[in-house]
Structures are given as structure tokens and as C-alpha cells.
Amino acid sequence: MSIGRRVILLFVICSCAVALAAIGVTVVRRVVEDTLTTDAHERALQSSWAIALDRQAGAVIDLVTAQLARPDIQPAGVLATLSGVGVRSITFYDDLAQMIGVWPATEQVADIPARRVAQAIAGGRGFHTLVASGGSIYMVAVGPLQRQGDGKGAFAAKVELSLPLAETVGALGGAGYVIDPDGKLLSSYGALPWAEVSADFAGRTSNVFDLTHDTQRLRLQSITLRQPGGTALGYLVVLRDITTYDRVLNVMDLLSLTAIVAVCIAVVAFGRWFAAGSLRPLATAADGLSTLVAGNTNVDVPGAERNDEAGQLARAVVAFRDRVRQSRQGEAQRARQWSRQQEFIRAQMMRMAETLSADGRRTLEEDLARIEALAVGGPDGKEGGSKAGGDAALTAAVEVMAQRVSEQHRELDRLVNELRAALGTRTELFQLQQQMEVARSMQQAMLPRGLLPNPHIEVKGRLVPAAELDGAFFDYFWIDEERLGLTLGQPAVGGLVGGFQSGTARASMRALLLAGLDAGEALTRTRAELRAEENGEDFALTAAIIEPGTGNLVWASHAMAPPIAVRRLGDAAELSGTAIQDVDYDGDGTTDEHRFELPRRSAVMFYAPGVAQNVGPAVAPGRLLSGLRAADDISVDSLLAALQSEGLLDPGAVGNVRDGVCVIARFLA
């Protein structure tokens, strides 16, 4: 994108930002204005209603007092006179604020607290309040009364709300309604029926909101009518015609938006004109520079006479064009000299190649061709960059050729020495391989070949050999008709020494268990024998005695993890058997012997440390448990297959650092 277009884009972005900001300010102003107007209208309605009630109550009290003071007072005449101000009934109270009568007698009496009536009698001042009576809402005006015989009392005139409603609507304009809490119309004033606005009032979200009726825009305001105690009696609803006000606001908003858009368009147009006039010389100079970079030195750059930045750029382009022309003329002259020197150096190098062998000469010619291809650009300025650079390249080529002869002689001497050393070590390697094969054969020979079929137990083991000889083993055998012996071992360090140590450990524990020793005793005596050998102290061992008929398992181990029991499908956990004795035959420590009773048709697995080392000691226990839990059933073959699918006992694994060994025994009944 050109600089001019970027400047225009900047003007457009700034104009849009200004327009959005102005629109946002307009919207916020309108919202604030509506909020303030709403609050003002609500306060105006409350004030007008309170003034109308006060004025009506005062007029009623004065008129009732004057009528009751007449000597020829008659109930019918008084009520007929007071009906013009909306009085429906008058209730009389004695000086103790007890009701003593009501005109007319059939009218329902308004419930006025005796305390407030007593205050009016004692203070000689009237008051008014709103009450619900007979399914409607009335204003009750209470005033003091001087009865005959100088007795004091009070009266309460129940007044309809039609006159205060008419006064309030007359002050605010529109129509007004008094409704009960259920939306039933009690009194109205104005030409618009309540039925046409009742639905809008029922769905209101605030006390002041606007609605549209035919072509009019109306503002509905409502306040809650309450008794002095706070109980809601109903609502006063007033409608005001704001059609003209709303149209004026819409026109003002439209004019504001139009002015904002017009200003933005003017700013963008000015920016385009300014960018075109100010950046055209820069664009011309940039085009000339691009043409010059493409290789055309006949470019003409106008504007060099200007005194601003565009003129400076034009003069710089002209100076660069002149230097390019001079450089090309010098390069053409150097190219001619370079061609003559190249032919001379090639002839000298070909003479040197005649002194080498056929392979060396062929390699020399290939190097020479490659170096010449790289050096061709030296005088042309395309790759080498200068004659001095090309001369240095050919000089380095001569040095490389001289070094090649010396390197060939040194390489020949090295190959001869390596051949002699290889002939000497080949015999040793062959002998070592034979020893390793013998050791692996011994390791496989130590593994059991299986048990005679037994209705109570099934036992199998698995050994996955390491990349190099490690020497781990497992063994299981019948001690007598009711007990099965099981052993497992892995040397601390592999190799031939570890393999021979495994043979000693296997034979020792097998003999000791067959001789009737407990698992802990056999393990302790075997460890005593291994201590005399290198790294024998850290030899990992497990000895176990299993009673298939009862499910009892007794085991002792050193440097091995506890066995894992699979009690039912999907349930695998490490065993934490009860320690039944401490065995110590050599005085150098004790070996804990554990007992655990396994349920029917469960399985138990013993495994050597190599399994964990091959997959990582931190994750091995979790993977063992998840593999056993994922088995299709708890047969020995299925459990071994599950461990193999988990990658713990995979025969095809490459690069195992230790032998992977495990033994699984399952109780069949």
C-alpha cells in the first residue's frame, strides 16, 4: 500500500472514530436527558397529586364545617350541598374519638384510626388520608367539630377522587385514571378509554414509560396510592401527549448525525487532496528508485530543485544513479582483466593435477569446476562482488588442492592403522558374543517350564530381555502337595556377573524353600550368600509361599515393590499384608515376612524393578494398575496380554535397559 493511500486510510479511520465518538456522546446525552426528564415528570406528578388532594381536603373541611354550623341543619340538605365536591358520607365522633353516627346511615364507614381522630380533636386541625372502602378508593377529610353544649368532636367526610384527579390531569394534560391493585378502573378523566392502555400498563417495566397510540406518542406515568401505614391501595395513572416533543428530538438527532457525517466526508476529502499534493513528489522519487534497482540507469527523477524532503529524496536518487553507472563501467574493465588471469591460473592448476592419482585428479577437476562457477561472479559483481574477492577465491582453491594431496596420504595411514586394530579386536568381539549367547542360554534355562495341571491354581511368568544381558529370573515349583514356592530376582548391575549371581540366588532360594524354610528365612540366607559378591547387597529378591487350597500368601522381599492383587474384574491394588515376623539370620538386619489371604478366583502378580525402570519409576505403578484393570478377564493369559498392550511387557520393545520380569498366580477355586 502506498504512503498516500495509508494517509487517506488514516484520515478515514480518524473520521470514523470521531463519528462514532460523536454518535456515542449523542446517545449518552439522549439517555441522560430521558432519565432526567423521567425523574422530573415523576416528581411533577407526585407534587400535582399532593397539591390537588390538599386543596380538595381543605375545601371539603371548610364546606362541611360551614354546613354543620347552620342552625337549621338537615342531613339530606347537607349531603345534597356537599355532593358537588364529591362527598359521599360524613361520620361523626365524640370528644373521645368514638363514632357516634354516620350520614347517610346506609353508607359504609371509612376505617380511620381513633388515635388520629383524637389528635385532630385535641389540636383543632384537620387532616386527610386515602382509604379503601366498598371496593373503591376514597379520600377521607377529617376536621374538628364544635358540638352543641360546648362539646368537642370531629367529623370524617368520605370524598370521591374524581375532583383531585381532574385537577391533576388538568395541570399535566392528557388523561388520568385511578385503578385498584388488580388493574380495575375506579375513576377516570379524559377522552382516552382505560381499556386501550390497560395492556401497556400491565406490561410496564418502570413507573414512567412511553407508548404509541394510533399516531400519537404518549408518556404513561404512575404512582402508587398508599395508606399512612404503607399499604398499597391502587395506582394513579396519567397519560401525557409527547408527540411534538418526540418529533423535535428525532429531528435534532437526525440533524446531528447528518452534520457529523458531513464533517467526516469533508475531512476525508481534504485528506485525499492533501495527500495527493504533498506525497506525489515522493511517489515519483520512489518509482525512480525502484526502476534504478531493477537495473535501468536511464531513469530521470524530477523534483531535484525542490527544497523540501521530496527534493532531498530526488537528489539522493540522482546521486545513486550516477554511482551505479560509474560502478558498471569499472566492473566491465575488471571483467576483461579477470578473464585473462583466470585462464592462467587454470593452466597452472591442471599441471598440478597431473601429479595426482586418477581419483585425486578427478576430484581436483570437480573442485576446480565448482570454484570457477562460484568465482565467475567476481568481476561481474553478481556473486563475488569484486576482483579482490575473486582472486582470493582462486588463491584459496590452490591451497585446497595442495592440502588435498596431504590429506589423502594422512587418510591412507589412518585406514591402515584402523585395519590393523580391527583385525586385532575382531577375535575379541567374536569371543564376547559367544559368552553373551552362553549367558542368555543360561538365563533362559533357569526359567521354569511350567507346572503340572492343578485344579486350584494357575501360574505363569514373563521375561522380556533387555538390550544387553541383565540376568533377571523367576521360578515357581511345588514344595509339597499343598504349598507352591515362588521366587523372583534381579541383580543390581547386569552383565555376565549379574547372570552368574542370578543362578546362585535362584538355586539357593529354591533349595531353602524345598528344605522347609519360611519365605523370610530363605530370603535372608540367600542375601547373606550374595553379600560376599560384587553389588550383591543390592540384589532385588522376592520369596513367596502360596497355599492354593486356602488362599494364604506369605512373602518376603528386598528392594522390590509389594505384589499387586486382582480380586475381581477391574479391581487391582497393591497388597499391604500383615507383618507376621522379623527374620534375622546374619545379624546384619531384618527381613519382614508378610501374610495375606486372597479371595477365591483372584490373582496376584509379583514384578521386578526392571519393569518400572524401563517405563519410568514415577509412572510405572499407575500404568501397572491401569493395565490390570483394563484386562478382559482375570485369567493369567488375559492379565499378561493387558500388560503387554500397555507397553510394560512388550517383547518387541527396543532399547530396554533392564529385563522386564513378572509372575502371575491365579486361584481357580
pLDDT of residue 259: 86
Q: What is the dihedral of CA 171, 173, 174, 177, to 10 degrees?
A: -10
What is the average pLDDT score of the chain?
81
Q: Is residue 13 part of a domain?
A: no
Choose among 89, 77, 172, 157: nearest CA to 117. 157
Q: Tell me the mean pLDDT in the region 70-81.
A: 80
The CATH number of whichever domain residue 591 belongs to comes to: 3.60.40.10
Q: Tell me the mean pLDDT in the region 553-567.
A: 93
pLDDT of residue 105: 82
Structure confidence at residue 518 as a pLDDT band (50, 70, 90) = very high
More confidently predicted of 363 and 223:
223
pLDDT of residue 321: 75
Q: Is residue 402 part of a domain?
A: yes
Q: Is residue 616 part of a domain?
A: yes
235/182 same-domain check:
yes
pLDDT of residue 380: 47
Backbone angles phi, psi at 588, to 5 degrees: -115, 25
- Which amino acid makes up residue 79? L
Structure confidence at residue 87 as a pLDDT band (50, 70, 90) = very high
pLDDT of residue 272: 75
65/124 same-domain check:
yes
pLDDT at position 594 over 50: yes
Q: Tell me the mean pLDDT in the region 505-528.
A: 93
pLDDT digits (tens, 9 = 90+) for 156-194: 999 999 999 999 998 877 899 999 999 999 999 998 899
The CB density around residue 411, as the number of other CB atoms within 10 Å, is 10
81/186 same-domain check:
yes
pLDDT at position 609 over 60: yes
Find out whether 562 and 596 touch, Cβ atoms under 8 Å: no
392/511 same-domain check:
no
366/495 same-domain check:
no
Per-residue CA distances from 149 to 152, 153, 385 (Å): 9, 11, 135
Q: Is residue 419 part of a domain?
A: no
378/452 same-domain check:
no
Residue finishing a domain among 411, 439, 459:
411
Choose among 662, 666, 649, 615: nearest CA to 488. 662
The CA distance from 142 to 159, in Å, is 11
Q: Is residue 432 part of a domain?
A: no
Q: For the chain, give the percent of residues with pLDDT over 90.
A: 31
pLDDT at position 383 over 50: no
513/616 same-domain check:
yes
pLDDT of residue 665: 95
311/358 same-domain check:
yes
pLDDT of residue 553: 94
The CA distance from 165 to 171, in Å, is 10
Q: Is residue 332 part of a domain?
A: yes
More confidently predicted of 395 and 573:
573
pLDDT digits (tens, 9 = 90+) for 115-133: 888 888 888 889 999 998 8
Segment among 319-328, 397-406, 642-651 with least mean pLDDT: 397-406
Angle at 445 between CA 439 and CA 448, to 5 degrees: 145
138/70 same-domain check:
yes
532/642 same-domain check:
yes
Choose among 363, 42, 83, 383: nearest CA to 219. 42
> How many Å separate Cα 630 from the centre of its chain?
32
Q: Look up the domain containing 526 and give its range.
A: 447-667
Structure confidence at residue 243 as a pLDDT band (50, 70, 90) = confident
Segment among 55-69, 253-267, 378-392 with least mean pLDDT: 378-392
The CA distance from 440 to 445, in Å, is 8
The CATH number of whichever domain residue 49 belongs to comes to: 3.30.450.20
pLDDT at position 561 over 60: yes
More confidently predicted of 228 and 620:
620
The CA distance from 238 to 133, in Å, is 23
Segment among 259-268, 328-337, 541-550, 555-564 with least mean pLDDT: 328-337
479/342 same-domain check:
no
Residue finishing a domain among 359, 384, 411:
411
Highest mean pLDDT among 283-292, 422-431, 544-553: 544-553
Q: Is residue 615 part of a domain?
A: yes
Highest mean pLDDT among 71-85, 367-381, 404-418: 71-85
Domain count, the chain: 3
Residue finishing a domain among 355, 387, 411:
411
Sheet holding 660-667, edge to edge: 457-464, 660-667, 603-607, 564-568, 571-574
More confidently predicted of 237 and 73:
237
Q: Is residue 254 part of a domain?
A: no
562/658 same-domain check:
yes
pLDDT of residue 390: 56
pLDDT digits (tens, 9 = 90+) for 432-481: 566 567 666 777 777 887 777 788 899 999 999 988 888 899 999 999 98
